[in-house]
Amino acid sequence: MVEKEGYLQKAKIADGGKKLRKNWSTSWIVLSSRKIEFYKESKQQALPNTKTGHKPESVDLCGAHIEWAKEKSSRKNVFQITTASGTEFLLQSDIDFIILDWFHAIKNAIDRLPKDPSTPSRSLELFKIQRSSSTELLSHYDNDIKEQKPEHRKSLMFRLHHSASDTNDKNRVKSRLKKFITRRPSLKTLQEKGLIKDQIFGSHLHTVCERENSTVPRFVKQCIEAVEKRGLDVDGIYRVSGNLATIQKLRFIVNQEEKLNLDDSQWEDIHVVTGALKMFFRELPEPLFPFSFFERFVEAIKKQDNNTRIETMKSLVQKLPPPNRDTMKVLFGHLTKAQFFVRLFN
């Protein structure tokens, strides 16, 4: 039974564990209870043109793994599916709610499937192969020893003794490394002592707010104050991009928790400030609208009656975690003010 279908960008990056060149193409994706099928066009159009006996490319979801893969592509909204056989696909859409909907639909399909304990993992298969190869090698080695002439046995024994000595040295090194690793302080201990801190960019919103004892990140408030102080009348305030190198420099300073003064001349270009603010929200592991609320917001938007839609949205916003709700209030209030200035000066 088809659970979901539609167009997405697709790239196959591995086949049976063998890496492939990434090549993006548009595909009609059909999700059923245990597999995904890929067509070049919508299924209704593709079926009459499909050659007899030809099957579309498909992915078995049993034992598959799905995860966001921001580092695998420069494109936004990319997630990866890895099958039990080692085949890997990237799926992508520029529209946020579409890709989120697909991600959760596929994840739910995978979670519903039984985990097959009889299927050995690739690491276990590799271990068996290595063990088999080692057994064959040992057998050949034993035969070679038996065929050795008496005059060669002395040198052979010397080599074996030397090899055993090397093994003992390696074991001692392993033992010391193991002691060092077990004695070193845990990440939690280092964080409690303040020696290691999470970065601002790329951290969860609630983590940043909890650390700052606030419900709106300090950096967000600083950026909004700077923009409203000297940038609301600038053309394309959030449309025009700032210098990426300068934005990255600002990002580094914020992550190092150095004292930040956005009135400094190096941040004179207001598009650098707005670019850094956009980057902060773009790098959140979970968006401002949490994944757990996504379906409910989509259903609320679909309501036909305007008053019902507004009341439902208000009710959902009130149920959000305080950091999400309060940050939305500050951010959307700022964007409303920016929109007012755009209309005023145009």
- For 150-185, the DSSP string reads HHHHHHHHHHHHHHHHHHHHHHHHHHHHHHHHHHSP
Alpha carbon 115 to chain centroid, angstroms: 23
What is the average pLDDT across 216-229?
95
Q: Does 226 score more than 80 pLDDT?
A: yes
More confident residue, 258 or 165: 258
Q: What percentage of the chain reaches a pLDDT higher than 90?
A: 43
Q: Does 152 score more than 60 pLDDT?
A: no
CA–CA dist 28, 40 (Å, integer): 6
Taking residue 146's Cβ as centre, other Cβ atoms within 10 Å add up to 6
- pLDDT recorded at residue 137: 44
Residue labelled with tokens 């859409």: 93
Structure tokens at 236: 């394309």
CA–CA dist 342, 254 (Å, integer): 29
Kind and range of the H or E run holding 88: strand 88-92
- Nearest Cα neighbor of 223 from 330, 63, 315 is 330
Task: Assign 94 to helix, strand or coil.
Answer: coil
What is the average pLDDT across 275-299?
92
What is the average pLDDT across 230-249?
89
- pLDDT recorded at residue 193: 58
Alpha carbon 159 to chain centroid, angstroms: 50
What is the tens place of the pLDDT at every residue in 181-215? 666 666 556 555 555 566 899 889 998 999 899 99
CA–CA dist 312, 309 (Å, integer): 5
Q: What percentage of the chain reaches a pLDDT higher than 70?
A: 74
CB-count exposure of residue 208 (10 Å: 0-12, 13-18, 19+):
buried
Q: Does 114 score more than 90 pLDDT?
A: no
Structure tokens at 119: 């299927």
Q: What is the mean pLDDT of the chain?
A: 81
- pLDDT recorded at residue 2: 83
- Nearest Cα neighbor of 345 from 220, 182, 233, 184 is 233
What is the average pLDDT across 250-272?
90
β 18-19/2-15 pair status: antiparallel
What is the tens place of the pLDDT at every residue in 38-91? 998 765 554 544 554 557 888 899 989 999 998 888 888 999 999 988 899 999
What is the tens place of the pLDDT at every residue in 87-104? 999 999 988 888 988 999
Beta bridge partners of 110: none
Domains recognised in the chain with CATH numbers: 2-112 (2.30.29.30), 205-345 (1.10.555.10)
What is the tens place of the pLDDT at every residue in 300-323? 999 999 999 999 999 999 999 999
- pLDDT recorded at residue 145: 46
Structure tokens at 246: 């300068």
CA–CA dist 88, 14 (Å, integer): 5
